[in-house]
Amino acid sequence: MGFGARSRLHTAKILRLSEDLPVLIEIVDKEERINLFIEQLDSMLGDGLVTLERVRIIRYRGDVR
């Protein structure tokens, strides 16, 4: 659950699956690339909230072959 910008409660109850539900997208990349993405995102985003946070990566595991 979450509140939108207009204090409207968003929830994932079964009867509301087709309505406006909260979405969170996280991207971890170099600061320069994030800034370029934010410029592109601004033209695509209607209502929404964009935050930028520094992260400390403790461990990254990927499929290394």
Direct distance between the N- and C-terminal alpha carbons of the chain, in angstroms, rounded to an integer: 39
- Does the pLDDT value for residue 64 go beyond 60? yes
Q: What is the pLDDT of residue 46?
A: 79
Decide: pTM greater than 0.75: no
Residue ranges per domain, the chain? 23-59
CA-based torsion, 25, 2, 52, 64: positive or negative: negative
pLDDT tens profile 10-55: 666 655 555 666 778 888 888 899 999 988 888 888 778 888 888 8
Q: Which of 21, 31, 23 is nearest to 52 (CA)?
A: 31
Q: Give the confidence band of 2 by pLDDT, cuts at 50, 70, 90.
A: low
